[in-house]
Each structure stands twice: as C-alpha cells, then as structure tokens.
C-alpha cells in the first residue's frame, strides 16, 4: 500500500481525537496518536490484514523538553511497507500503556526507554532498569541530565585518573 | 543490570553465569535458576558494556560520531559505519558515487565473513571442540590484513564516510582479495568436514531449542537468526541499499536439515551458507566495480534539514538501524540504534526454560550475541 493510501485509510478509521496528525511527505510516513489510545491503535495496525505491521523495528523515546515523544518504528514483512507511530507523553507524569502484549519485543525496548528516559509503561510485566544499575540517579537521555560527580564512591570525572586540571563538563548547550 | 526478588523452592538453586565467563562472548551475565542440571529460567542481566553511545551522538558533530559507530559492534564494525552513513545521507539526500558504494559492499562482505567466522568458530568451542576455532581465526587474520591495507585499521575501521569512503583501493587490492577467496573457498569445505558434518556436533544441536518463524518475528529477531527460523528475508535483497541490487546471490534459509526448522544447527548452518554467499558477492563486486569518485561533496560541518530518518543495513547480526533526528543544528538531536543482538538477547529468557545448562550455552552461542551491540 502506498503511504498516502495507508494514511487516508487510517484517518478514515480513526477520528481526529485519536489520530491527531499525519504526514506522508517526509522521508517516512508517520502518524501522531493520542497517548491514551496508543494501545488500541497499535493493536489495530498490527492485526488488520491491510496493514499487518508484524515487526516492531525499534522503539525510540525522544526528550523534547516540554514532552517526551515515543516513536514506534513499524514494518510489515507481508506488505513491505513502513510507518512511524508517534505519541507525546507528559514530561511531569510520564506514563503510557505498554505494548508488550502486542509485540513481545517491546518488553526490552520499553525497559530501555524507562531506564534512559524515565517513562513508565503501564501493564508492563517487569518494569525495571535494564542498562544502568537500580540505584542510578536520573535518566541520561533526558536533555537536562547532569551526571553526578561520583557513583558509590567511584569518580565519574576524568581528572581523577590523570591528575589533570578539571575539564569543563560537556553538556548539550556547550556542544551546540 | 539490577536485582529482582526470586522465590526459592527447596531444590532450586540460583547460579550466576558471567559477566566473566568463557562461553558468554564478552561481558554478558545470566542469573540461572537451576534444578540440578536443568535450567528453570535464565535471566539475562545486561549493561556491563554500556558506554552511552546514543548520548555521545547528541554531543558530537555528525562526522565526529562515525568512529563511535565502530564501537557499537566491534566484531563487524564496517556495517555499523555503513548504517549510520546511510541514515545521515538520507537526511541530506546525498547521492553516493557508485565506486564508493561498491567499496562499501566489498568492505561489508569481507567484514561479514570475518564476523561469521568468529561465530562459527566460537560455537564449537563453547561446546568443547577447540580446533575449529583455530581454523576460523586463521582465515579471519587474513581478512584483517586485507582490510588493514584498505583503511589502516584491523578492528575499528572508521572507513565509511558520510557521502563516501575514506580511501580508494590500494594497488593490487583486488588481486589480493580474489587470491584470498580462491584459497578460502576450498577451506570452507575443509571446515565442513571438520565440524558441520561432525556427528557429535549434529547430535548435540539438531532439534535443540527451535524458534518458530512467528516467534522470531514477534521478538524482533533479525538477520541469520530470523532466516534460520525459515523466513526468507534479507535487507540486501528486499530493501536493497548501496549496489546490492546489481549483484546476484541467494538467501540461505533454515530448513531443519538436522532436526527442526529454527533449531541451533540451522542457526549455525545459515551462517556457514552466508559465508559462501558473501564470497559470491565479493567476486562480482571485484569485477563490476566502476572507476570514479569515492566521495560525494559533503560540507565539513553538516547541518541537515529538520527531519528524521531511519536507515538500516543487513549487518552480520541482522538489521542494524539508525534512527536519526535532526533539528538543523551541527549535532544530531537524537540517534537511536537498533541492533540485532539486543532482540536476540531478549528471547533467551523465554527459550531457556527446561534446557540443560550445557544447552543454554549452545543457545547463547547459536544466537551470536555480541555484548557491545546489546549494551551500546
């Protein structure tokens, strides 16, 4: 199915309170879905024969400072088409439904987003940190994250190893 | 990398495996709940090799991130370079010169052979047969020499550039590669005699831990692991990038030749067959490679237009995808790396129930999990 046909069928199926925005003119067709309806929407596009998005390629969380955007990058082996489903999560109360029941692969993807961006997935069977230790403070992929000077008595600073004068800590603002 | 509460039964014992363990291919750790020799559950605990590469991507310029992609998968660094370059080129709509695309393919396929040799070499070693490892590593050394003459590095290449590659082939490179292939192909038959048709090896792996096609797709398995489960899917064929649509090769698929479709032997066999296909691709590339530029015109400081792109390559461990978001500044706003080992690792917990401890080792080895790819 062409990207345009796919998106028009989706906007027909779901009204404007669920599918908030969509575009097929960029590099990848994408839709923005209401966060409350994400599970219903994804379950539909996975199971409906016209879409059958059986492969969850990746799940990427992005911190936009006012909100956190979750990108579900989908692919269908049967039809060979792709779609990116986006949804915005409130940064103060970062909760969203888990899609682990739809794609088991999401189990670890969601744990990674929880670990690095601090979004909790409701209904997830095992919501704990995956890459960082349990007692790590903060979520590193947040834009306002600052690394602590030490972790359990081990310095995270470079001069500790070399005895060099203190290096300026790199932050996104410095880099840009 | 965290702890959970586990209910203990009388005859149940929790045994820690890793992170330093000869059969875990790098720093992987499993908490295995065992009942004698039987595994009730093996829970992967990852993160020991986490270097926050995705965060670094937000801190350095687009060109500057290329050496870091080597470290995403240092066993097959070339494909990791390639995937990142493709994604940024997509954002920039850069046309890569044909010669550069062929050079990338030659480098990728050499790298794939080297990576698969590590996989099929360490697999028997995990099961107790040490000799095949030596055979595989000897050939891999020769590939390292070839790649060293191409780009000066043996492990972390930093060869692919956004818009092209860093060096053209040195004099006599094509001849040396084809001489290597002539010598290498018969050796694969020797390797088959040594291990692929070895009765002990087959009895050990045939029918062990089959993963169905449906389950493999649901868990997002990719690459050789997916193909071993009977799914005919290869990005090089079905969504071709570089110049893969100009070369002819087959997609080896698991057929349950020694047990069931998708068992550990199929995962081994698909890799052996893929090495042969890579040889085929390499021979065609060496003949078809055109003359011309090796680098498109790309500014020193890249500022792609606002937008996002996802580009994936068929790496040695399957689909390696880079999701790059640009906010039109010098640095990427976000880079998300999708790797094959991460999904392969996530399936182990559900597949490990009821295995023998020694078979758990075989399962891990058959999925060809590489720690840096899992943790990034």
- At residue B9, the pLDDT reads 56
From the list A27, A84, A103, the residue facing B90 with the nearest CB is: A27
- At residue A161, the pLDDT reads 55
Cα–Cα distance for residue pair B168/A154, rounded to 1 Å: 45
| Domain that includes residue A129, residue range | 3-145
pLDDT above 60: residue B4: no
User: What is the nearest CA distance from A64 to chain B, expressed in angstroms?
Assistant: 9
From the list A73, A104, A140, the residue facing B218 with the nearest CB is: A104
Residues of A in contact with B238 (CB under 8 A): 80
Which range has the worst mean pLDDT, A158-162, B176-180, B298-302, B337-341? A158-162
Residue A62 inside a domain? The answer is: yes
Question: Measured between alpha carbons, how far is residue B90 from residues A23, A164, B106, B323 in Å?
Answer: 17, 41, 21, 11
pLDDT tens for each residue of B255-308: 888 888 888 899 999 999 999 999 999 999 999 999 888 888 888 888 888 888
From the list B50, B90, B323, the residue facing A132 with the nearest CB is: B50
Q: Do B312 and A57 touch (CB under 8 A)?
A: yes
pLDDT above 60: residue A175: no
User: What is the nearest CA distance from A83 to chain B, expressed in angstroms?
Assistant: 11
Residue A139 inside a domain? The answer is: yes
Question: Among B308, B326, B341, which would you mutate to test the A interface (most chain A Cβ atoms within 10 Å of its Cβ)?
Answer: B308
Nearest CA in chain B to A140: B55
- At residue B358, the pLDDT reads 84
pLDDT averaged over every residue in chain B: 87
What phi and psi, each to the nearest 5 degrees, are found at residue A169? -75, 135
- At residue B22, the pLDDT reads 66
Instruction: Kindly state whether A62 is in contact with chain B, defined as any CB-CB distance less than 8 angstroms.
Output: yes
Question: Among B65, B94, B220, which would you mutate to test the A interface (most chain A Cβ atoms within 10 Å of its Cβ)?
Answer: B220
Cα–Cα distance for residue pair B16/A58, rounded to 1 Å: 30
Cα–Cα distance for residue pair B320/B374, rounded to 1 Å: 12
CB B298 within 8 A of CB B162: yes
Architecture of domain B53-303+360-375: Orthogonal Bundle (1.10)
Question: Measured between alpha carbons, how far is residue B35 from residues B6, B30, B40 in Å?
Answer: 14, 15, 7
pLDDT tens for each residue of A45-55: 888 888 889 89
pLDDT above 60: residue B6: no
Residue A54 inside a domain? The answer is: yes
Residue A41 inside a domain? The answer is: yes
Residue A88 inside a domain? The answer is: yes
Q: Which pLDDT band, with edges at 50, 70 and 90, does B47 fall under?
A: confident
From the list A77, A129, A141, the residue facing B217 with the nearest CB is: A77
Interface of A with B in 92-121 (CB under 8 A): 103-105, 107-108, 116
**Tokens linked to A34:** 């209401």
How many domains does the structure of chain A reveal?
1
pLDDT above 90: residue B25: no
The residue ranges of every structural domain in chain B are 1-48, 53-303+360-375
Question: Measured between alpha carbons, how far is residue A21 from residues A29, A64, A116, B284 in Å?
Answer: 11, 17, 27, 46
| Residue A130's CATH number | 3.30.460.80
Q: Tell me, what's the ipTM?
A: 0.84
Residues of B in contact with A73 (CB under 8 A): 310, 321, 323, 338
Mean pLDDT of the B147-155 span: 89
Give every CB contact of residue B209 below 8 A, 6+ residues apart in sequence.
B263, B264, B351, B355, B359, B362, B363, B366
Q: What share of chain A has pLDDT > 70, as a percent?
A: 89
pLDDT above 90: residue B113: yes
Cα–Cα distance for residue pair B177/B282, rounded to 1 Å: 9
- At residue B34, the pLDDT reads 86
pLDDT above 90: residue B12: no
Instruction: Kindly state whether B167 is in contact with chain A, defined as any CB-CB distance less than 8 angstroms.
Output: no
List alpha helices for B289-367, DSSP H.
Answer: 340-351, 357-366
Residue A155 inside a domain? The answer is: no
Nearest CA in chain A to B318: A57
**Tokens linked to A11:** 């906007």
Residue A57 inside a domain? The answer is: yes
């Amino acid at each position: 199915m062409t990207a345009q046909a796919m998106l028009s069928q989706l906007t027909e199926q779901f009204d404007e309170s669920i599918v908030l925005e969509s575009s097929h003119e960029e590099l990848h067709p994408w839709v923005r879905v209401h966060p409350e309806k994400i599970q219903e929407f994804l379950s539909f596009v996975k199971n409906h024969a016209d879409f059958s998005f059986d492969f969850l390629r990746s799940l990427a969380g992005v911190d936009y400072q006012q909100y956190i955007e979750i990108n579900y990058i989908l692919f269908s082996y049967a039809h060979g088409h792709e779609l990116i489903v986006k949804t915005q999560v409130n940064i103060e109360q970062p909760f969203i439904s888990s899609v682990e029941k739809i794609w088991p692969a999401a189990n670890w993807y969601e744990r990674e987003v929880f670990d690095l961006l601090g979004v909790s997935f409701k209904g997830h069977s095992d919501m704990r940190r995956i890459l960082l230790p349990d007692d790590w403070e903060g979520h590193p992929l947040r834009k306002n994250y600052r690394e602590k000077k030490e972790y359990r008595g081990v310095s995270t600073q470079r001069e500790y190893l070399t005895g060099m004068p203190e290096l300026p800590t790199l932050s996104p603002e410095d880099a840009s | 990398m965290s702890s959970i509460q586990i209910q203990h039964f009388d005859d149940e014992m929790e045994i820690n495996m890793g992170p330093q363990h000869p059969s875990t291919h790098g720093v992987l750790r499993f908490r295995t709940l065992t009942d004698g020799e039987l595994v009730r559950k093996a829970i992967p605990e990852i993160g020991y090799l986490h270097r926050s590469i995705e965060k670094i991507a937000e801190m350095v310029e687009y060109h500057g991130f290329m050496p870091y992609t080597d470290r995403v998968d240092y066993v097959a660094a070339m494909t990791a370079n390639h995937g990142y370059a493709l994604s940024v080129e997509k954002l920039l709509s850069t046309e890569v010169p044909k010669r550069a695309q062929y050079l990338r393919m030659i480098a990728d396929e050499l790298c794939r052979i080297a990576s698969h040799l590590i996989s099929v070499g360490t697999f028997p070693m995990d099961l107790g047969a040490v000799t095949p490892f030596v055979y595989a590593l000897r050939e891999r050394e020769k590939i390292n020499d070839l790649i060293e003459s191409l780009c000066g590095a043996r492990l972390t290449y930093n060869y692919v550039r956004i818009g092209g590659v860093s060096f053209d082939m040195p004099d006599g490179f094509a001849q040396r590669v084809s001489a290597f292939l002539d010598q290498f192909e018969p050796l694969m038959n020797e390797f088959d005699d040594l291990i692929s048709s070895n009765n002990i090896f087959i009895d050990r792996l045939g029918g062990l831990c089959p993963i169905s096609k449906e389950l493999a797709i649901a868990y997002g398995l990719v690459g050789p692991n997916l193909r071993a489960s009977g799914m005919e899917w290869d990005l090089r064929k079905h969504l071709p990038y570089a110049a893969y649509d100009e070369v002819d090769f087959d997609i080896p698929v698991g057929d349950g030749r020694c047990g069931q479709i998708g068992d550990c032997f199929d995962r081994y066999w698909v890799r052996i067959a893929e090495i042969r296909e890579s040889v085929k691709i390499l021979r065609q590339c060496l003949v078809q490679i055109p003359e011309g530029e090796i680098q498109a015109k790309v500014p020193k400081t890249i500022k792609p237009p606002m937008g996002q792109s996802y580009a994936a390559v068929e790496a040695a461990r399957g689909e390696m995808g880079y999701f790059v978001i640009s906010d039109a500044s010098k640095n990427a706003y976000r880079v998300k790396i999708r790797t094959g080992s991460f999904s392969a690792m996530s399936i182990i917990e559900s597949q490990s129930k009821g295995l023998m401890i020694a078979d758990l080792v075989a399962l891990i080895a058959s999925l060809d999990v590489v720690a840096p790819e899992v943790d990034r």
